[in-house]
């Protein structure tokens, strides 16, 4: 049971001019597309500016980084070339996201931010420290490593932030965090932010703070009230086409964040989506630091329409303009679900979150629904009952329905390209659909209800041949379906979590 409960209604603050952050910083926040403070920002910024220790509970996606980052950057002295603020994050990816936001907030005042994380060359990180970075964003293990080599000291550090503290405790960083805190001044200001609190974490927080202001925002508000949520059922092989249609039918300003379970799934989907006319990039733990920064910069600048990612991007991803989150793979549980969809509908803006549910993942989706305290309605997948082509005309080549059958529609073949190019009936209307003749399943999938009924521009056959290339040609090994011999209770996690992919993302 979470011992930290909402204790205060957030004040109705309309803009960031409520606080003395300075004109330059306030202008920067506005340029980031943020106008009205979120509940956690409204509750936390004032106490941080007043120099008080803070223990804050708020869900991912509620603007925690800005809640501590804005007041810290407003108070730090840019003329002091030493480490004045240390922000600890549980993972390299989250640290990178926080560092990017802090650097943007620090620009107008000439403040320097150094990223100190494992998995990257040590030299440039040490150089940034020695060049006088005032803010260090780091993972605990790398901090102790650099400290042990004598490159990092904290004699004048005024602020220590523990971000996503629940994750740090979960992955065994408690001892490292305590060692780091012992090396910082006792009179420091300590800020601890977390999505959840158990008794052990709250005990740690209170032992490391002095007279803290304890803040807790109401659970679920950020991910339910501002986001239009739905799920769509479809065969696994129809997900690519459904995603393409959603993107094609969106407005020019819309931006998509698409979550897959594993790196290999992201890479495979990237190769497929790169054939389309819209811009698409990928982000996962296999990219080096420089590549991740390039991708995130392009995404923030809206030069990327679709970003494909694993869950490493779901924590700490601070991009305000994401209009759509697509769960290409079903999340593990409702916590992962809310972390993912929390990337849209931020700072009071509206957003859309859609989850693709395949037959193999239906039981996992039932588990997510059983944990959620709100309804996630079902909608038809794009093209169900006949696809709409690029010119807006309703096609006649009968896209798959929810159960994967075409029923008695006049045209059986799907034709991935043909359907999206306007539904001109590229297969003869006399061909028999798979719903009418199950024995023609294979030939139907290859481009028509009858053998040899291939669409003139390649249709499904060309696409499927490309997807079936050997791994050496970029095809990738298909993901195994989870075992389905045992049907779990909807109140307990499904067995065999390997169905989601157990590799490091």
Task: Check residue 265 and give its pLDDT.
Answer: 93
Task: Check residue 437 and give its pLDDT.
Answer: 38
How many structural domains is the chain composed of? Answer: 3
Would residue 422 be called left, alpha or beta, if left means φ above 0 and alpha means ψ between -120 and 50 degrees? Answer: left
pLDDT at 194 over 70: yes
> Tell me: the pLDDT tens digits for 216-257?
876 544 456 789 999 999 999 999 999 999 999 999 999 999
The dihedral through the CA atoms of 282, 255, 502, 356 has a sign that is negative
> Tell me: the pLDDT tens digits for 14-70?
789 889 999 999 988 888 777 788 888 999 999 999 999 999 987 766 788 999 999
Residues in a beta bridge with 87:
137, 161
Q: What is the DSSP string of 132-187?
A: T-SEEEE-HHHHHHHHHTTS---TT--EEEE-SHHHHHHTT-HHHHHHHHHTS-TT
Q: Are residues 234 and 129 located together in one domain of the fold? A: no
What does the buried/exposed string (b/e) look like for 298-325 if buried means 16 or more CB atoms within 10 Å of the residue's CB?
ebbeeebbbbbbbbbbbbbbbbbbbbbb
Q: Are residues 113 and 254 located together in one domain of the fold? A: no
Query: In 3D, which of 383, 424, 377 has the Cα closest to residue 404?
Result: 383
Q: What is the CATH number of the domain that holds 86?
A: 3.40.50.300
Residue that is last in its domain, among 184, 201, 219: 219
Q: Are residues 340 and 398 located together in one domain of the fold? A: no
Task: Check residue 457 and give its pLDDT.
Answer: 40
Task: Check residue 192 and give its pLDDT.
Answer: 94
Residue 2 lies in a domain: no
Please answer whether residues 273 and 308 qualify as being in contact, where contact means their C-beta atoms are separated by less than 8 angstroms. Answer: yes
- Ramachandran angles phi, psi of 14, nearest 5°: -85, -25
Residue 5 lies in a domain: no
Q: Are residues 268 and 162 located together in one domain of the fold? A: no
Q: What is the average pLDDT across 1-10?
A: 57
Q: Are residues 141 and 289 located together in one domain of the fold? A: no
How far, in Å, CA of 129 to CA of 156, rounded?
14
- Ramachandran angles phi, psi of 228, nearest 5°: -80, 110
How far, in Å, CA of 305 to CA of 336, rounded?
23
Query: In 3D, which of 180, 144, 161, 185 has the Cα closest to residue 89?
Result: 161
Residue that is last in its domain, among 219, 248, 267: 219
How close are the terminal C-alpha atoms of the chain, in Å?
29
Global pTM reads: 0.57
Residue 7 lies in a domain: no
The dihedral through the CA atoms of 194, 198, 199, 204 has a sign that is negative
Residue 435, token pair as written in the block: 């719903």
Residue 396, token pair as written in the block: 């006649």
Please answer whether residues 86 and 157 qualify as being in contact, where contact means their C-beta atoms are separated by less than 8 angstroms. Answer: yes
Q: What is the DSSP string of 72-104?
A: HHHHS-TT--S--EEEE-SSHHHHHHHHHHHHH
Between residues 60 and 130, the one the model is more confident about: 130
Q: State the DSSP H helix or E strand holding residue 14, giving kind and residue range, or none if neither.
A: none
What does the chain come to in residues? 505
Q: Are residues 330 and 451 located together in one domain of the fold? A: no
How far, in Å, CA of 332 to CA of 330, rounded?
7
Q: Are residues 430 and 373 located together in one domain of the fold? A: no
Q: Are residues 79 and 121 located together in one domain of the fold? A: yes
Q: Are residues 149 and 261 located together in one domain of the fold? A: no
3-state DSSP percent of the chain in helix, strand and coil, to 5: 35, 15, 50
> Tell me: the pLDDT tens digits for 297-333?
888 888 999 999 987 655 556 677 899 999 999 988 8
Give 430's pLDDT tier (boundaries 50, 70, 90).
very low
Task: Check residue 47 and give its pLDDT.
Answer: 95
Task: Check residue 410 and give its pLDDT.
Answer: 33
Task: Check residue 412 and give its pLDDT.
Answer: 37
Between residues 452 and 235, the one the model is more confident about: 235
- The share of the chain scoring above pLDDT 90, in percent, equals 43
Residues of the domain holding 187: 16-219
How far, in Å, CA of 142 to CA of 116, rounded?
7
Residue 479 lies in a domain: no
Task: Check residue 285 and give its pLDDT.
Answer: 74
Q: Are residues 276 and 393 located together in one domain of the fold? A: no
Q: Are residues 411 and 434 located together in one domain of the fold? A: yes
> Tell me: the pLDDT tens digits for 266-289?
999 999 999 988 899 998 877 876
Task: Check residue 7 and give its pLDDT.
Answer: 54
Q: Are residues 403 and 453 located together in one domain of the fold? A: yes
Residue 116, token pair as written in the block: 């100190």
Residue that is last in its domain, among 219, 241, 275: 219
Count of C-beta atoms within a 10 Å radius of residue 202: 19
Give 391's pLDDT tier (boundaries 50, 70, 90).
very low
Query: In 3D, which of 291, 269, 292 has the Cα closest to residue 280?
Result: 269
Between residues 403 and 133, the one the model is more confident about: 133
Query: In 3D, which of 43, 54, 55 has the Cα closest to residue 18?
Result: 43
Residue 473 lies in a domain: no
Query: In 3D, which of 261, 265, 312 has the Cα closest to residue 289?
Result: 312
Would residue 226 be called left, alpha or beta, if left means φ above 0 and alpha means ψ between -120 and 50 degrees? Answer: alpha
Q: What is the average pLDDT across 97-123?
A: 92
Residue 130 lies in a domain: yes
How far, in Å, CA of 109 to CA of 51, rounded?
20
Eight-class DSSP state of 399 = B
Residue 478 lies in a domain: no
pLDDT at 407 over 90: no
Residue 8 lies in a domain: no
């Amino acid at each position: 049971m979470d011992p930290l409960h909402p204790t205060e209604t957030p004040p109705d603050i309309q803009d960031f001019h409520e606080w003395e952050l300075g004109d330059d910083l306030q202008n920067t926040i506005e340029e980031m597309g943020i106008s009205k403070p979120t509940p956690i920002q409204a509750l936390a910024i004032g106490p941080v500016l007043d120099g008080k220790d803070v223990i804050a509970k708020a869900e991912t996606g509620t603007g925690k980084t800005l809640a501590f980052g804005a007041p810290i950057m407003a108070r730090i002295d840019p003329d002091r070339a030493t480490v004045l603020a240390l922000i600890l994050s549980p993972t390299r990816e989250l640290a990178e996201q926080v560092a990017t936001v802090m650097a943007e907030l620090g620009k107008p005042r000439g403040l320097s931010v150094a990223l100190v994380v494992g998995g990257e060359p040590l030299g440039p990180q040490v150089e940034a420290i020695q060049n006088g970075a005032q803010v260090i964003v780091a993972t605990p293990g790398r901090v102790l490593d650099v400290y042990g080599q004598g490159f990092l000291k904290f004699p004048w550090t005024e602020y220590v932030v523990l971000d996503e503290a629940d994750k740090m405790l979960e992955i065994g960083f408690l001892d490292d965090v305590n060692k780091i805190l012992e090396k910082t001044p006792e009179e420091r200001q300590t800020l601890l932010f977390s999505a959840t609190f158990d008794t052990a974490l709250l005990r740690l927080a209170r032992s490391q703070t002095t007279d803290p202001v304890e803040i807790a925002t109401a659970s679920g508000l950020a991910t339910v009230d501002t986001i239009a949520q739905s799920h769509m059922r479809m065969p696994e092989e129809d997900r690519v086409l459904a995603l393409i249609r959603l993107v094609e039918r969106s407005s020019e300003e819309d931006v998509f964040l698409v979550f897959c379970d594993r790196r290999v799934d992201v890479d495979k989907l990237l190769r497929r989506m790169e054939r389309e006319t819209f811009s698409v990039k990928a982000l996962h733990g296999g990219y080096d630091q420089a590549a991740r920064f390039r991708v995130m910069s392009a995404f923030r600048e809206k030069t990327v329409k679709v970003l494909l990612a694993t869950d490493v991007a779901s924590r700490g991803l601070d991009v305000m303009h994401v209009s759509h989150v697509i769960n290409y793979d079903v999340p593990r549980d409702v916590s992962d679900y809310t972390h993912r969809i929390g990337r849209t509908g931020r700072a009071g803006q509206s957003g859309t979150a859609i989850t693709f549910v395949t037959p193999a993942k239906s039981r996992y989706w039932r588990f997510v629904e059983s944990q959620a305290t709100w309804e996630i309605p079902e909608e038809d997948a794009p093209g169900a009952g006949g696809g709409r082509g690029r010119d807006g005309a309703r096609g006649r080549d009968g896209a798959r329905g929810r159960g994967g059958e075409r029923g008695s529609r006049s045209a059986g073949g799907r034709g991935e390209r043909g359907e999206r190019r306007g539904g001109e009936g590229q297969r003869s209307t006399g061909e028999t659909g798979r719903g009418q003749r199950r024995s023609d399943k294979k030939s139907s999938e290859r481009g028509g209800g009858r053998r040899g009924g291939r669409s003139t521009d390649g249709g499904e056959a060309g696409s499927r041949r490309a997807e079936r290339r050997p791994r050496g040609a970029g095809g990738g090994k298909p993901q195994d379906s989870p075992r389905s011999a045992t049907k779990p209770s909807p109140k307990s996690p499904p067995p065999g979590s390997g169905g989601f992919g157990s590799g490091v993302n």
